[in-house]
Amino acid sequence: MLSGILDIAKRQSLAAPRRASIQAMTTLQHLNTPCALIDIDKMRHNIARMQQQVESLGASFRPHVKTSKSLPVVQAQLEAGARGITVSTLKEAEEFFEAGIQDILYAVCISPAKLDAVLQLRRRGCDLKIITDSEAAAREIVAYGQANAHAFEVWIEIDVDGHRSGIAPNDDALIEVASVLHEGAMSIGGVIAHAGSSYDCATPQALLAVAEQERSGTVAAAERLRAAGYSCPVVSIGSTPTALAAQSLSGVTEVRAGVYVFFDLVMHNVGVCRPDELALSVLTTVIGHQKAKGWAIVDAGWMAMSRDRGSARQQRDFGYGLVCDEFGKPIDGYLMSGANQEHGIVSLACGVDPDIEQRFPVGSRLRLLPNHACATAAQHPQYQAIESDGSIHAWPRFYGW
- Assess whether 144 and 201 both reside in one domain: yes
Q: Number of structural domains, the chain?
A: 2
Confidence band of 4 (pLDDT split at 50, 70, 90)? very low
Q: What is the average pLDDT value for the chain, to the nearest integer?
A: 94
Confidence band of 29 (pLDDT split at 50, 70, 90)? confident
User: How many Å apart are CA 202 and CA 269, to the nearest integer?
Assistant: 7
| Torsion region of 228: left, alpha or beta (phi above 0 gives left; psi -120 to 50 gives alpha) | alpha
pLDDT of residue 15: 35
- Containing domain of residue 318, as a range? 275-396
DSSP H or E run through 142:
helix 135-147
pLDDT of residue 107: 98
33 located within any domain: no
13 located within any domain: no
313 located within any domain: yes
Confidence band of 98 (pLDDT split at 50, 70, 90)? very high
In DSSP terms, 289 is beta-bridged to: 296
Q: With pLDDT > 90 as the criterion, what percentage of the chain qualifies?
A: 92
Q: Is the pTM of this model over 0.85?
A: yes
Q: Residue range 87-103: average pLDDT?
A: 98
Provide the CATH number for the domain around residue 364: 2.40.37.20
User: How many Å apart are CA 96 and CA 108, to the nearest integer?
Assistant: 17
User: How many Å apart are CA 5 and CA 75, to the nearest integer?
Assistant: 6
Q: What is the largest CA-CA distance in the chain?
A: 72
- Assess whether 244 and 293 both reside in one domain: no
pLDDT digits (tens, 9 = 90+) for 131-174: 999 999 999 999 999 999 999 999 999 999 999 999 999 999 99
- Assess whether 230 and 313 both reside in one domain: no
Question: In this structure, are strands 35-39 and 280-290 parallel, antiparallel, or unpaired?
Answer: antiparallel
With 70 as the cut, is the pLDDT of residue 379 above it? yes
Given 261, 292, 313, which residue is the final one in a domain?
261
269 located within any domain: no
